[in-house]
Chain A
Amino acid sequence: MIALLTRDLKLAMRAGGGFGLGLAFFLIVVTLVPFGVGPQSDLLSKIAPGILWLGALLACLLSLDRVFALDWEDGSLDLLATSPLPMEGIVTIKALAHWLTTGLPLVLAAPLFGLLLSLPTPGYAPLVLSLLLGTPALSVIGTFGAALTVGLKRGGLLLSLLVLPLYVPTLIFGAEMARRGVEGLDTTTPLLMLAGITCGTIALLPFASAAVLKVNLR
């Protein structure tokens, strides 16, 4: 398991691995939005939490089709499926590797990007916390979508269509928590909901992903 994780991280870091793709996309969204809405910093600071969450979500989506596709193409997935590793473990590690290479950098970069959108000072801590709690769910749900579409050539479109509706609850509660943080309101309720969604997906979805992956390998 650890070997699979270190291999995936190593692959992501090397040439063509796609590390930084999500981060670069996030940066592009965040720098372009002020050009799009104009230089009104009060408007920007109002929409900043939503934009930051949307940017993070889309950046996450961008790298999802790589989760299994590369291993499928070169035959590693067949070999992993016949290896001693349980399929549930494989998909969990894949989701974790996706989060470490996409979600975690987004969380760490979010304060900097908040600055670009003139996010009000009280909003930083809730924003980072909401992303930290929410992005693992994005990776786990996304891994499920990737497992569903693994054998398809150019499955990216289908993957986005399948995964986006499943992302909605995470987005609603995540953005709500960040917004309440900006306005200085109590963030407990969205925080609990967000944490609940993440824990639920981590507990249940690996089994579903493993099952569909087994079907797709036939």
Chain B
Amino acid sequence: MGLNVSNLTIARGGIKVLEGLNLSLEAGQALVLRGPNGVGKTTLLRTIAGLQPPIEGTIKADPETMVYAGHADGLKPTLTVEENLTFWASVFATSDIDAAIDAFHLDALRTRPAGALSAGQKRRLGLARLLVTGRPIWILDEPTVSLDVDAVRMFADTVRHHLGQGGSALIATHIDLGLPDAGILDVGPYRARAMNPDDFDEAFL
């Protein structure tokens, strides 16, 4: 049920960003990705989530075990908090949204349209979606953006609880989540070398 990535090379917009990257994630583990802006963390996570194919290398994981949460929360502004979560629950063929509502303290906002939420509340709702999917491997891209200190703690508690239940998480973030046994992977050293085409024409191929 783990995730195993070996010798991965990925590209964004036709330009290689990371190459020769290896990582593995077992049940109960969390791995935090670090690296400067633009190094390719988002591209890496999108590749692992299956949204784009890698240039080289293999990703060994069952796509049915992963859930991806990107920069956008995928919320519909005219649907209420409850309707948004119920929709994702039925897409992932689960039904329990109460645990997710409780974990991110959304109970008071249940009937509020998502469009009327603040940025932090929207993000909490977006993260609550992870819980309703019931999938073990969380692929998270900057999950704490626009969260306040309390909400970050709420999120860290949720991740810890998820790991305790045998789940795992791959998180790209710049802040310290306070997950004591999370591995840290700096993707900086895997930055792809600039391409030096041998001749002029090759640059256009």
A, B in one complex: yes
Check if B91 is an interface residue, CB within 8 A of chain A: yes
Closest residue on chain A to residue B77 by CB atoms: A74
**A: number of interface residues (CB 8 Å):** 24
Closest residue on chain B to residue A17 by CB atoms: B78
Q: Are A15 and B51 in contact (CB under 8 A)?
A: no
Taking the nearest CB of chain B, how far is it from the CB of A13, in angstroms?
9
Check if A108 is an interface residue, CB within 8 A of chain B: no
Among the stretches A42-50, A81-89, A136-144, the one at the interface with B is: A81-89
B interface, size bucket: 20 to 34
Contact of A79 among B68, B78, B90 (CB under 8 A): B68
Q: Are B74 and A79 in contact (CB under 8 A)?
A: yes
Instruction: Given the known inter-chain contacts A3-B91, A84-B92, please indicate yes or no for A16 contacting B78, CB distance below 8 A.
Output: yes
- Please indicate the chain A residues that have their CB under 8 angstroms from the CB of B53 in the complex: 218
Q: Are B64 and A84 in contact (CB under 8 A)?
A: yes
Contact of A14 among B71, B75, B78, B92 (CB under 8 A): B78
Taking the nearest CB of chain B, how far is it from the CB of A147, in angstroms?
15
- Residues of chain B at the chain A interface (Cβ within 8 Å): 46, 49-53, 63-64, 66-79, 83, 87-88, 90-93, 129, 133
- Residues of chain A at the chain B interface (Cβ within 8 Å): 2-4, 7, 10-11, 14-17, 73-76, 78-85, 217-218
- Excluding A15-B78, A82-B63, A83-B92, 7 further A-B contacts by CB distance (< 8 Å) are A11-B76, A16-B78, A75-B74, A79-B68, A82-B50, A84-B92, A85-B91
